[in-house]
């Protein structure tokens, strides 16, 4: 039965991230329910566009229809208000609900809006005034039904794509894609209870930019022969004044007005714009406005583009530099495309990319030099860089080719961030390093730009035919870039090809998959069976009184072993408490080492899969490891022999036990030849390559060392699979002697009904004879590692594992029926989370 104090565990004991995640998910569900069921009221915004009459006619002038720049701009629309006051004709304003726009198809949004708008236009011809993206709708109406449009007035409208954002329809789609993705994430992953939908800058706003098709804007402008007026802000940085000037070239009949202001105008400038619009309407109605002669061809070549200049030039360079901080290689490819379109010259784009990449590299160097190694333990660096990568890079830098490693990292995917941070940690010479990094960026950038310059235009020619699949094309392009940099480019080197072998095997061999994925069916089975038994912690009752949770993940290791400490087969164990002083811990540990000798195993009381384990080779390392402890530790001698794992079970009330599985943990070794470094030996070995990333992690401080000819190097420091051991299912080792010996050992604790024991034996014969030492015991739901045996296969291993879990759960259910008090779920979650969420990795062993 669990200790009495277990029942008093409160929810506050749960890790804060669990409470935060639970509260966040609850709010997210409540937000979704509120928006789904409570905001769908008759007063909700309309789902269709509407043409609202906001001003009665004061004379015989034609009606004016104002199309706002974005959905849901509200009623305080200055342009509409001024037109109401000054216009002699009726004034209409199109309401553009966000909900309407979101349901349109991305490839025909402007066309659909135009068709819906035309059906609501007043009889006869009208003046269309389009602001921002509203100008796109106005242009579409004029393209589809030119007979209904008396004139077009564009106020800060996009016009030709060559002068908008990056200056290319496809490149802009990439920018708008990430822009829209951010708003989609906010809309779906934040509990905003509908408030986000009421903001002007919301998901609908971003979808306007991404979904609206602007690839044929230049063609439609060139075909429009009616009166046109272009009003644009001189300081508009999103769509610069050059866009309006180029649109005026496409429509020679257009009147161009460049006014003071930026993206939006002040009230005073807005009033002046309205005066110009109404004056233009009067000229149209009196047939004084310019139109393009019918004899003028509308199919001829477009006016020549002018490379970006002035403020537009510097803004574009700034955009390129900022984009390199997010995605270096895609930005270089996009710049090559822009050069091919004549938006910017090759030299300027190359220098901007180089500058952005160099600045990013220097920032990483500065982070490493300023913050030090401790910064790797905090977000966001801990998500990007692993400490073993730093050790690995440090080993490379210490070699004669250290600086070459820095330069080559520019061309090796996923190695740049750890390389430059390590350079900062080691405080390498900044002038020399800066020169090398700048040179590497200057070499790499033109190559990528050339690829974009060469292959971008053919892609551009095909894009209009598939523009309705823009999102998928962008996603596919990003995936293609990732495949190129992570699979194709590495194949150019021997090391890269060996790493590709590792990646391919990890993808195609289920036994090499991660625990989270491989054990998922078993965990789902445990959850469903626990629900059927009406107790989510039924498994923790399989071993009443054995630890606090029946030996489940999160129980203290020493507390499970102390029940058997009188048995000579139990490995000697010393518990070192965090609450004791440094001096007391060191004194106890030294006395233990004096009795049992080195090497010693130091591991956390609460951990799983060897996390936090250290192999102590001497007194100095022992003292250093025990300084300023913040948790309890367990100290054991490192026993000789081979390691095995057995799963044992007996039914409650029964004296007989059953051995359900025996797994041998074999060492993985490489043999030196006197010329190859350890890293090369790992990559060259056909077995070690399966988990080369792990072995490079474990031996990151020794990768540049060259083992002597014939010297064997054991790659796994312990017999744990998490530490690199090879697991082999050995049913042939199950003998009556072994079963009886394990049963006699486990029966020393009467409440033990299910256990997994880590054993050490001299050899197979000794184990079969029942002669072993026990180094660790796990209880409830500690299944065997048979699923990691490649020769057995996953589908043959699952039934073996499930039988173990099923009998463990059955033992727990039987004990609950006998009156055993269940373990509180909050306590199980607390300890399980503590064991599974350690930030430290297992120790890297100094080889002797």
**Mind listing the pLDDT tens digit for each residue in 644-699?**
999 999 988 788 889 999 999 999 999 999 999 898 999 999 999 999 988 988 88
pLDDT of residue 288: 92
Please determine, for residue 433, whether its predicted confidence score (pLDDT) is greater than 70. Answer: yes
pLDDT for 12 equals 42
> Please, what's the b/e burial string for 767-780 (b: 16 or more CB within 10 A of its CB; e: otherwise)?
bbebbbbbbbbbbb
Distance of CA 31 to the CA centre of its chain: 24
Residue of 206 and 637 predicted with greater confidence: 637
For residue 42, the model assigns a pLDDT of 43
User: What span, in angstroms and rounded, lies between the C-alpha atoms of 19 and 22?
Assistant: 5
To the nearest whole number, what is the mean pLDDT of the chain? 81
Q: Is the pLDDT of residue 770 over 90?
A: yes
Dihedrals phi, psi of 126, to nearest 5 degrees: -135, 160
Question: Peptide bond preceding 728: is omega within 30 degrees of 0, i.e. cis?
Answer: no
Convert the pLDDT of each residue in 618-645 to its tens digit. Answer: 888 888 888 877 888 999 999 999 999 9
- Cα separation values, 631 from 377, 604, 730, Å: 17, 7, 37
| Tokens encoding 661 | 């599985």
pLDDT of 539 reads 85
pLDDT band at 246; cut points 50, 70, 90: confident
Rounded mean pLDDT of 334-357?
85
CA dihedral of 707, 709, 715, 719, whole degrees rounded to 10: -130
| Confidence at residue 73, expressed as pLDDT on a 0 to 100 scale | 58
Residue 701 binned pLDDT confidence (cut-offs 50, 70, 90):
confident
- Weakest-pLDDT range from 6-10, 269-273, 596-600, 736-740: 6-10
**Which residues is 778 bridged to in the sheet?**
756
Predicted TM-score (pTM) of the model is 0.65
- Number of H helices and E strands in the chain, helices first, is 31, 18
The two structure tokens encoding residue 481 = 């870039």
The pair of structure tokens assigned to 805 is 């879990």
- Residue 742 CB coordination number (10 Å): 24
pLDDT of residue 443: 82
Q: What pLDDT, in 10s, does the model give residues 560-569?
A: 999 998 999 9
Mean pLDDT of 723-734: 93
What's the distance, Cα to Cα, between the start and end of the chain in Å?
46
Q: Distance from CA of residue 723 to its chain's centroid?
A: 26
Write down the pLDDT at residue 280.
Answer: 93
Nearest to 256 by CA among 159, 139, 145, 148: 159
Residue range 460-506, pLDDT digits in tens: 666 666 666 666 777 787 788 778 777 887 787 888 889 899 999 99
Tokens of 626: 């025990």
Query: What is d(CA 444, CA 433) in angstroms, rounded to the nearest whole number?
Result: 16
Look at 119-123, 609-613, 715-719, 807-811 and tell me which has the smallest mean pLDDT: 609-613
> Is the model more confident about 804 or about 195?
804
Residue 200 token pair: 């002007």
Is residue 70 scored above 90 in pLDDT?
A: no
Helix/strand/coil percentages in the chain, nearest 5: 55, 10, 35
pLDDT at 341: 73
Residue 840, pLDDT above cutoff 90 = no
User: Could you check whether the bond before residue 467 is cis, i.e. omega within 30 degrees of 0?
Assistant: no
Band the pLDDT of 43: cuts 50, 70, 90.
very low
pLDDT score for 306: 60
For the residues of 803-836, what is the DSSP string, one character each? HHHHHHHHHHHHHHHTTPPPPPHHHHHHHHHHHH
370-392: burial string, b at 16+ Cβ within 10 Å, e else: eeeeebbeeeebeeebbbbbbbb
Tell me the average pLDDT across 123-141. 89
Q: What is the pLDDT of residue 6?
A: 36
Calculate what percentage of the chain has a pLDDT beyond 90: 24
Q: What is the pLDDT averaged over residues 763-788?
A: 92
DSSP state string for 17-42: HHHHHHHHHHHHHHHHHIIIIIS-ST
> What integer pLDDT is reported at residue 296 of this predicted model?
57
What single string gives the DSSP state of each residue in 745-794? HHTTSTT--EEEEEEEESSHHHHHTT--EEEEEE-TT---SGGG-TTT-H
Q: In which band, very low, low, confident or very high, does the pLDDT at 114 lie, cut at 50, 70 and 90?
A: confident
* Cβ-based neighbours of 775, under 8 Å, separated by 6 or more: 571, 601, 636, 639, 643, 758, 759, 760
Q: Both tokens of residue 36?
A: 């789904």
The pLDDT of residue 13: 54
State mean pLDDT over 105-127.
77
Tell me how far apart the alpha carbons of residues 788 and 392 are, in angstroms, rounded to a whole number: 27
**423: burial class by Cβ within 10 Å (0-12, 13-18, 19+)?**
buried
Which of these, 151, 143, 154, lies nearest to 115 by C-alpha position?
143
Mean pLDDT of 729-736: 94
Angle (CA) 340-343-349 rounded to 5° is 80
- Is the per-residue pLDDT at 103 higher than 70? no
Contact predicate 191/27, CB 8 Å:
yes
Mean pLDDT of 52-70: 82
Mean pLDDT, range 16-39, rounded to an integer: 81
**Is 256 a residue whose pLDDT tops 90?**
yes
The string of DSSP letters for 651-702 reads: -TT----EEEEEEEEE--EEE--SSS-HHHHHHH-TTGGGGHHHHHHHTTTS
pLDDT reported for residue 379: 63
pLDDT value, residue 831: 80
Q: Is the pLDDT of residue 580 over 70?
A: yes
Percent of the chain residues topping a pLDDT of 70: 82
Look up residue 611 and give its two tokens: 């996390």
Measured in residues, the chain has a length of 848
Query: Can you tell me the distance from the alpha carbon of 722 to that of 607, in angstroms, rounded to the nearest whole number?
Result: 12
Q: Show the CA angle centred on residue 18, arms to residues 12 and 22, nearest 5°.
A: 100
Distance CA 120, CA 51 (A): 6
Whole-number CA gyration radius for the chain: 36
Q: Tell me the C-alpha distance between 132 and 231, whole Å.
A: 11
Q: What is the mean pLDDT of residues 298-308?
A: 60
Bridge-based pairing of strands 658-666 and 614-616 is unpaired
């Amino acid at each position: 039965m669990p200790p009495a104090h277990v029942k008093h565990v409160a929810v506050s004991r749960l890790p804060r991230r669990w409470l935060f995640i639970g509260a966040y998910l609850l709010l997210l569900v409540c937000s979704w329910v509120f928006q789904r069921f409570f905001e769908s009221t008759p007063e909700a915004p309309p789902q269709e566009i509407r043409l609202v009459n906001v001003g009665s006619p004061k004379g015989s002038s034609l009606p004016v229809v104002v199309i706002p720049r974005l959905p849901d701009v509200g009623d305080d629309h200055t342009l509409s208000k001024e037109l109401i006051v000054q216009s002699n004709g009726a004034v209409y304003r199109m309401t553009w609900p966000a909900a309407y726009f979101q349901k349109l198809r991305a490839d025909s949004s402007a066309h659909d809006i135009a068709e819906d708008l035309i059906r609501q236009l007043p009889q006869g011809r009208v003046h269309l005034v389009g602001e921002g993206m509203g100008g796109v709708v106005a242009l579409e109406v004029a393209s589809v039904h030119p007979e209904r449009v008396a004139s077009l007035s564009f106020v800060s409208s996009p016009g030709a794509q060559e002068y908008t954002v990056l200056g290319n329809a496809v490149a802009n789609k990439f920018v708008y894609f990430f822009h829209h993705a951010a708003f989609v994430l906010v809309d779906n992953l934040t509990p905003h209870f509908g408030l986000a939908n009421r903001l002007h800058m919301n998901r609908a706003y971003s979808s306007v930019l991404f979904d609206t098709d602007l690839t044929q804007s230049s063609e439609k402008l060139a075909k429009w022969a009616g009166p046109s007026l272009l009003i644009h802000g001189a300081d508009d940085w999103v769509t610069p004044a050059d866009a309006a000037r180029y649109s005026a070239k496409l429509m020679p009949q257009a009147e161009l007005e460049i006014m003071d202001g930026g993206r939006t105008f002040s009230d005073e400038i807005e009033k002046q714009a309205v005066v110009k619009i109404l004056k233009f309407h009067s000229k149209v109605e009196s047939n004084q406005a310019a139109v393009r002669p019918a004899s003028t061809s509308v199919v001829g070549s477009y006016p020549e583009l002018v490379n970006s200049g002035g403020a537009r030039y510097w803004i574009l360079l700034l955009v390129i530099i900022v984009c390199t901080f997010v995605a270096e290689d895609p930005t270089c490819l996009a710049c090559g495309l822009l050069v091919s379109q004549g938006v910017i010259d090759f030299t300027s784009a190359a220098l901007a990319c180089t500058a952005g990449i160099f600045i990013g590299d220097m920032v990483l160097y500065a982070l490493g030099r300023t913050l030090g190694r401790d910064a790797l333990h905090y977000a966001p660096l801990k998500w990007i860089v692993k400490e073993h990568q730093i050790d690995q890079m440090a080993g490379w830098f210490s070699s004669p080719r250290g600086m070459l490693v820095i330069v080559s990292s520019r061309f090796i995917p996923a190695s740049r961030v750890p390389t430059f941070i390590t350079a900062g940690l080691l405080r390498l010479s900044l002038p020399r390093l800066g020169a090398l990094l700048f040179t590497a960026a200057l070499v790499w950038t033109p190559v990528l730009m050339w690829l974009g310059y060469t292959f971008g235009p053919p892609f551009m020619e095909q894009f209009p035919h598939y523009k309705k699949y823009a999102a998928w094309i962008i996603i596919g392009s990003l995936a293609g870039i990732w495949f190129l940099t992570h699979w194709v480019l590495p194949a150019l080197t021997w090391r890269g090809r060996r790493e590709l072998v590792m990646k391919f095997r990890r993808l195609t061999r289920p036994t090499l998959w991660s625990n989270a994925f491989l054990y998922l069916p078993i965990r789902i089975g445990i959850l469903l069976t626990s629900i059927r038994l009406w107790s989510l912690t039924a498994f923790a009752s399989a071993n009443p009184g054995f630890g606090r949770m029946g030996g489940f993940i999160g129980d203290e290791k020493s507390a499970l072993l102390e029940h058997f400490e009188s048995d000579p087969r139990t490995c000697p164990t010393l518990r070192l408490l965090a609450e004791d002083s440094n001096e007391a811990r060191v004194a106890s540990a030294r006395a233990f080492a004096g009795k049992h000798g080195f090497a010693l195993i130091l591991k956390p009381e609460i951990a799983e899969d060897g996390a936090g384990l250290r192999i102590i080779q001497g007194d100095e390392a022992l003292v250093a490891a025990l300084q300023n402890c913040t948790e309890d530790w367990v100290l054991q001698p490192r026993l000789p022999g081979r390691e095995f794992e057995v799963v044992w079970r007996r039914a409650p009330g029964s004296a007989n036990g059953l051995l359900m599985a025996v797994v041998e943990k074999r060492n993985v070794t490489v043999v030196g030849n006197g010329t190859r470094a350890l890293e090369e030996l790992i990559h060259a070995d056909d077995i070690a390559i399966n988990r080369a990333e792990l072995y490079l992690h474990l031996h990151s401080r020794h990768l540049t060392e060259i083992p002597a000819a014939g010297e064997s190097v054991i790659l796994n420091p312990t017999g744990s699979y998490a530490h690199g051991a090879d697991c082999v299912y050995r049913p042939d080792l199950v003998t009556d002697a072994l079963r009886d010996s394990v049963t006699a050992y486990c029966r020393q604790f009467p409440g033990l009904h299910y256990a997994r024991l880590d054993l050490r034996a001299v050899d197979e014969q000794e184990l079969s004879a029942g002669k072993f030492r026990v180094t660790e015991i796990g209880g409830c739901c500690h299944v065997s590692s048979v699923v990691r045996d490649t020769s057995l296969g996953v589908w043959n291993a699952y039934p073996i594992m499930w039988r173990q879990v099923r009998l463990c759960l059955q033992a727990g259910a039987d004990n609950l029926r006998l009156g055993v008090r269940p373990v509180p779920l909050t306590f199980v979650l607390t300890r399980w989370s503590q064991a599974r969420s350690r930030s430290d990795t297992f120790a890297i062993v100094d080889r002797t």
